[in-house]
Structure 1
Amino acid sequence: MNRIEAEILKYKKTMMSKLILIIPIFFAVFSMVVQIIISENPGIKVDMASKESWKMFLTLSFNFWSFIFIPMISALLTGLVANQEKKVGNYRALCCHEIMPLKIWFYKIMGMVVYMLIATIIFIAVEVVAGSISAIGNISFIKILVAAIACFLVSISILPIQLFFATNFGMIINLAVGFAGMLSGVLMAPEKYWILNPYSWATRLMCPLIGVHPNGIVLNQGDPLLNGDVVGIGIILSMISFSILLFMTGKLFEKKEFR
C-alpha cells in the first residue's frame, strides 16, 4: 500500500492531478451549458419543468463522459506517467530498491486506478451541482452514482493497454491509440460484438443505465439496447480483462526494461 501511496503522491503536483480535477468539471459544466442552449431552442420541445430536464442533462454528460473522457484521459494519464519516468531514469533507478518489475508495473497501474476513481468522485459531485442548476425536479443521485461507478469499473481495463503503448512508443502513438479506441468504441458499442472492444464497454453500459444510444440519441422504450444484462457482463469482463492485461503487459515491461 505504501508503494501505491508513493505513486499517488509522486504526481500530486503535476499536470496529471490538475487534469483529474479540471476535466470532470469541464464535462459536467459543458453538458449544463449545452442543455440550457438546447432548452432555449424553440424548435426543440423539452419540458424543463419535468423529469425530462434531468434526463437530457444525464444523457449529454454521461455520453460525453463514456465516449470521450474514458479513452482520452486514460491516454493522457498514462502518457504523462511514462514521460515522468523517462525523465528520472526510465524505471531503471528502481532496480536499486530491489523491487520486482511486475510489482513496479502493478504500482503504476494501481496509482492511475486511484486517480481515475478520484476523477469519478469529482464528476459525481459536479454532476449533482450542475444538474441542480440546469435541471428541474428531484436529483437523480442514484442513477448518477451507479452510472459513474459502472464507467469507472469498466474503464480500468484500458489503463494497462495505454501504459504499455505510452512506455514503449511514446505520447503521440499512445494518444493515437486512445483516439482510435474512442472511435472504434462508439462504433462497436451498439453491436452484438461490443464485448470484443474494451473501449466500447463504458459507452455500451450507458445504454441501459442512462438510456442513451452511443451516438448520443435518447433510446426509445423497448429498444434492445436497454437490456440491463450487459451491465453485469461488462463489469465482470472488465475485472477479468484488467487482471489478464495487467499481468501480460507487466511481463512485457519486465522483458523490455530489465533484460
Structure 2
Amino acid sequence: MLGMFQAERLKLKRTMAKKLLFLGPLLVVIHGFMVPQYLITNAYNWWYVMIFPGLLALFAALINTYEEKKLHYRAVFPLPISLRKFWINKVLTLAYYLTLSSFLHCFILVLLKYFIFPHYGETYLISQMLLASMVLLLSVLWQLPFCLWLAKKLGLVITVLVNFTANVILGIAFSTTAYWLLCPYAWGIRLMIPLMKIYPNGLKAGSEAAAPLLATSNWSIMLSLTLALTLFAGLTWLTALWFEKQEVK
C-alpha cells in the first residue's frame, strides 16, 4: 500500500490538481487584506460553503481525468495488483492532500490574525480554529470516494456540478433545521455554528434574531462525525468493490 501511495503522489507531481489544493487556501489571504476586521469569520464561511466543496469535487474529478487520459485505466487493469487496493489507495491519497489543504488554510489564518492583523476585530483561539478545521475535514471525507466514483461514471463537469450544488443548496438548507443529521452535506456546515459561531450566511451566531445560537449538543456533534467516518469507510469499500469488477473497454 505504501508503494501505491508513493506512486499516486508521483502522478500528481506538477499537476494542476495539486496546485489547486494549495492555491485555494491562499484566496483567504486576498480576502483577509480586504476585510481584516472580519478575517476569521469570512475566511471560514467562504471556505466551508464555497471554496472547500469546490476544491474537493474538482480535485477528485481531475484525479480520475488523469487516469482516463492514460488509455482509460488500461495501464492499471493488466497489472498484477489488487484493483480494490488500488482504488482505496487513490481515495486515501485524496484524503491526504485534502488534509494538507485544510490545515494550510488554518495555518494561513493564524499567521494573518496573530502576526499581521493582531488588533483587528474578532478573537478566536488557535485551538478553536484547529478543532473547526479538523471537524470540517472529517465531516466531508465521505465525498471523496463518492466524487471519484461519480467522475469515473459521468465525468468531470457533472461531478463538480452535482457535488458543489448539493453542498451549497442541500447543505445550507438542512444545516439550520432540526433535520440536519439526515443530510450528510449539512454536517460540516452545521457544526461550524457551535464551534465557530458562524452561520452559513456569514452572520455571527447569537448576534441577531435572524441568527440564533442553535442548540447542538456534544452528543449530536459526535454522532455526526461518527456517521461521517462510517459513510466514508462504507463508500470507500463499496466503490472499491465496484472498481474491482471493471474491465478494460
Name 1:180's counterpart in structure 2.
Answer: 165
CA distance change for structure 1 residues 228 and 32 in 2, over 3 Å: closer, same or farther? farther
Runs of 4+ in 1 over 4 A off after TM superposition: none
Name 1:11's counterpart in structure 2.
Answer: 12
For 1:197, the aligned partner's letter is C
Name 1:68's counterpart in structure 2.
Answer: 50
Q: Name the CA distance, whole Å, in 1 between partners of 2:31 and 2:186.
A: 21
Q: Name the CA distance, whole Å, in 1 between partners of 2:166 and 2:20.
A: 20
CA distance change for structure 1 residues 114 and 98 in 2, over 3 Å: closer, same or farther? same
Shift of 1:25: 1.2
Q: Name the CA distance, whole Å, in 1 between partners of 2:218 and 2:49.
A: 19
Name 1:48's counterpart in structure 2.
Answer: none
Name 1:77's counterpart in structure 2.
Answer: 59
Name 1:47's counterpart in structure 2.
Answer: none
Q: Does 2:220 correspond to 1:233?
A: no
For 1:215, the aligned partner's letter is N
Structure 1 residue aligned with 2:180, among 179, 194, 200? 194
For 1:75, the aligned partner's letter is A
Structure 2 residue aligned with 1:90, among 45, 62, 72? 72
Q: Does the aligned pair in 2 maintain the 1:5–1:111 contact within 8 Å?
A: no
Q: Does the aligned pair in 1 maintain the 2:99–2:137 contact within 8 Å?
A: yes
Q: Name the CA distance, whole Å, in 2 between partners of 1:135 and 1:196.
A: 40
Q: Does 2:34 correspond to 1:2?
A: no
Shift of 1:195: 2.1
1:48-105 deviation line (CA, Å, top 9, x unaligned): xxxxxxxx43221111111113321111101111110011122232233222221111
Question: Which shows bigger deviation, 108-117 or 62-71?
Answer: 62-71
Q: Does 2:145 correspond to 1:168?
A: no
Q: Does the aligned pair in 1 maintain the 2:151–2:159 contact within 8 Å?
A: yes
The two structures, once aligned, show a CA RMSD in angstroms of 2.1
Name 1:131's counterpart in structure 2.
Answer: 113
Identity of counterpart residues, as a percentage?
27
Structure 2 residue aligned with 1:150, among 135, 153, 159? 135
Structure 2, unmatched stretches of 5+, are none
Name 2:190's counterpart in structure 1.
Answer: 204
For 2:106, the aligned partner's letter is I
Q: Name the CA distance, whole Å, in 1 between partners of 2:151 and 2:224.
A: 25
Q: TM-score, normalised by structure 2?
A: 0.88
Shift of 1:258: 5.9
Q: Does the aligned pair in 2 maintain the 1:124–1:145 contact within 8 Å?
A: yes
Q: Does the aligned pair in 2 maintain the 1:117–1:152 contact within 8 Å?
A: yes
Q: Does the aligned pair in 1 maintain the 2:176–2:214 contact within 8 Å?
A: no
CA distance change for structure 1 residues 100 and 258 in 2, over 3 Å: closer, same or farther? farther
Name 2:100's counterpart in structure 1.
Answer: 118
Structure 1, unmatched stretches of 5+, are 40-55
Shift of 1:149: 0.9
Q: How many residues align?
A: 240
